[in-house]
Structure 1
Amino acid sequence: MSAIRSTFSRTFNKRSLYLLTGATAVVGTAAAYNEYQNNNKRNRPNPKVWGTLAAGTGLHIAECQKKPEDYQKVYNAIATKLRDEDEYDNYIGYGPVLLRLAWHVSGTFEKKDNSGGSFGGTYRFKKEMEDPSNKGLQNGFKFLSSIQEQFPWISHGDLYTLAGVTAIQEMQGPKIPWRAGRVDQTEDLTPDNGRLPDAKGDATYVRNFYKRMNFEDREVVALLGAHSLGKTHYENSGFEGPWGAATNVFSNEYFNNLINEKWEFVKNEAGNMQYNSDKGFMMLPADMALVQDPKYLKIVKEFAKDQDAFFNEFGKAFTKLIENGIEFPKNIKTTVFKTLDEQE
């Protein structure tokens, strides 16, 4: 492990994330699809751009003609750029913002009608990019622009989610199984703002928010564990500070800090209430909800003691997050990417 961390320290200089979550796609059966379009006063998109809907399910059918080794090349290009541009944001690096981008283009999935999710790659359009909850993600989008130019065949949904997987694995996180085949959608299918999470929410809010995306308690706690990375910024979220010390190493530190730090609930300079510790760490109200709710707290304690259990649950939950709303044909196989270190 020491050798791994030594290698990692050359590539990232620790820091950065913000909040996590969202984008959107659309709907169900042919009848539901037409109703959705009528309700939203939209014209039916070009089916070649829309992508195929699985009969009777409303799930988008993934389409892929590339081989796993083609996507490994994209992974390598992103990972190499992460190493080369580690000076971003006071040597925070781009890893956390790429993870957050993948989260936000996936996190508006709505299970009741199979809308939302990462399929359409609509973050590239102004409406979604300028959602107040997406503030700061523009830097991740710009980072990936040269990757998109290098690999013009990859869809935006595939690129955003693959970048998140790359960031997690290069920051010493768990392996994230990934499948290709998302199809770019048209601008008129960009989701309305407002599906991203409220950092001020209590445990009831957090539980209900994640139920919308078909997540259970254990998955919720695991996904919030991504806050082991990075820090919040006033200019982006209205909160300020890191969740922990090792802000560029994916670990279970977040859970240990929730349990063991002494937290004070204070109003910050932006006028928002946040929890601060005497070590300079912070927690959002939605973070502290995990120790204020007895069901969540039990899982927090487990993950604090057992990083492997956390990694295992996070890997499954994150894959579910970025695949919600999509049906993958049998010919599209799962890819588990090798890190740069593993290829040396």
Structure 2
Amino acid sequence: MSTPGDYDAVRKDIVAQLKKPDYDDGSTGPVFVRLAWHSSGTYDLKTDTGGSNGAGMRYEAEGGDPANAGLQHGRAFLEPVKQKHPWITYSDLWTLSGVVAIQEMGGPEIPWKPGRTDLVDDSKVPPRGRLPDGAQGAEHLRFIFNRMGFDDQEIVALAGAHNLGRAHIDRSGFHGAWVNNPTRFSNQFFKLLLKLKWTRKTLPNGVSQFVYADPDLEEDEEPLMMLPTDVALIEDPSFRTWVEKYAEDKDLFFEDFAKVFAKLIELGIRRDEKDAIVNTDNVKGGYLSAPKKSDTATGPVRAKL
């Protein structure tokens, strides 16, 4: 067990969990990024509720949200790290795992500060419906992200996380990867979004997405795909401006993504002049690490769109 506050030791053990040959494309990195994202993206600026403080996904009220389908695997992959460092809160561990994963997959270094505390019950878990629905369009994106305090440029920068990972039909209802190398952080998502011809396709489950009909695709290979919310980024003039900028300038994208992801994982966090978090949970204050709930990964089987 490490000394409380030894976040470098935690980082090393997160890195040790990244390679998983039998999981997706051989890496847990993308699911760690999504876990950090979804644990933070419940924030509502108007009511100052939700956000990365609390780790509410440990409770069915949040963990069972169809938008979080599949994240039980990410949480389970981090349990060995939690066991070695029981002093760290889940809310710190989940956000740190996303930051570490992005950098290890070739992305930018993202500022991260500790201090989040874990809720002791589900009374402060935010209501469902605050996370984006990939089947929607541009106005839905603005509705969801403006609520958190993000503008058009920040929305597009965050969408660049789709350079990583893949969609699963038994989770989100969508199927496939956005880019050819889904475990390497880059600006390929934006390049492909602009360069390729995306054709709408209805999957066997009735869900509609966009695919690229590559004439050179082998019979056993899957076509690249885009969500309706992704295609909306090039159909909306304001969003498209930033897609074009990021497709052309990888360094600009990395710089802006680092800023907006750092902002995302700080949503709902209040700190004093020494960067100590002054948020308290609903029973006790201070840095409280919640006990482990179960040895079994639980969560919704699939998302309903």
Give the TM interval when normalised to the shorter protein: 0.7 to 0.9
Match of 1:126 in 2: 60
Q: What are the ranges of 5 or more consecutive residues in structure 2 without an aligned counterpart?
A: 215-222, 277-305
Matches within 5 A, 1:51-70: 67=5, 70=6
TM-score by length of 1: 0.75
Residues 153 and 244 of structure 1, relative CA distance in 2, 3 Å threshold? same
Provide the C-alpha distance between the structure 1 equivalents of 2:4 and 2:154, rounded to a whole number of angstroms: 31
CA contact (8 A) 1:105 1:118 kept: yes
Task: Look up the SS of the partner of 1:266 in the other structure.
Answer: strand
Task: Look up the SS of the partner of 2:258 in the other structure.
Answer: helix
The one of 221, 226, 242 equivalent to 2:177 is 242
Q: 1:76 corresponds to which letter in structure 2?
A: K
The one of 228, 236, 244 equivalent to 1:293 is 236
Give, in angstroms, the shift of residue 66 of structure 1. 5.5
RMSD: 1.4
Q: 1:74 corresponds to which letter in structure 2?
A: V
Match of 1:316 in 2: 259
Match of 1:259 in 2: 194
Provide the C-alpha distance between the structure 1 equivalents of 2:247 and 2:73, rounded to a whole number of angstroms: 32
Asked if residue 330 in structure 1 is aligned to residue 265 in structure 2, the reply is no
Q: Which runs of 4+ in 1 moved over 3 A?
A: none
Instruction: Give CA-to-partner distance per residue, 1:34-71, whole Å, 9 cap, x none.
Output: xxxxxxxxxxxxxxxxxxxxxxxxxxxxxxx955xx11
CA contact (8 A) 1:122 1:186 kept: no
Give, in angstroms, the shift of residue 186 of structure 1. 2.3
Provide the C-alpha distance between the structure 1 equivalents of 2:44 and 2:60, rounded to a whole number of angstroms: 22
Give, in angstroms, the shift of residue 332 of structure 1. 3.2
Asked if residue 79 in structure 1 is aligned to residue 15 in structure 2, the reply is yes
Give, in angstroms, the shift of residue 90 of structure 1. 4.5
Match of 2:69 in 1: 135
Match of 1:172 in 2: 106
CA contact (8 A) 1:239 1:270 kept: no
Provide the C-alpha distance between the structure 2 equivalents of 1:306 and 1:66, rounded to a whole number of angstroms: 40
Match of 1:275 in 2: 210
Instruction: Give CA-to-partner distance per residue, 1:161-198, whole Å, 9 cap, x none.
Output: 00111111111101100001101112222222221111
Larger mean CA deviation between 280-289 and 87-96 belongs to 87-96
CA contact (8 A) 1:110 1:213 kept: yes
Comparing both structures, which one devotes a greater share of its residues to helix? 1
TM-score by length of 2: 0.84
Provide the C-alpha distance between the structure 2 equivalents of 1:195 and 1:204, rounded to a whole number of angstroms: 14
CA contact (8 A) 1:303 1:310 kept: yes
- Percent pairwise identity: 43
Provide the C-alpha distance between the structure 1 equivalents of 2:158 and 2:152, rounded to a whole number of angstroms: 10
The one of 246, 249, 254 equivalent to 1:303 is 246
Q: What are the ranges of 5 or more consecutive residues in structure 1 without an aligned counterpart?
A: 1-64, 334-344
Provide the C-alpha distance between the structure 2 equivalents of 1:99 and 1:88, rounded to a whole number of angstroms: 18
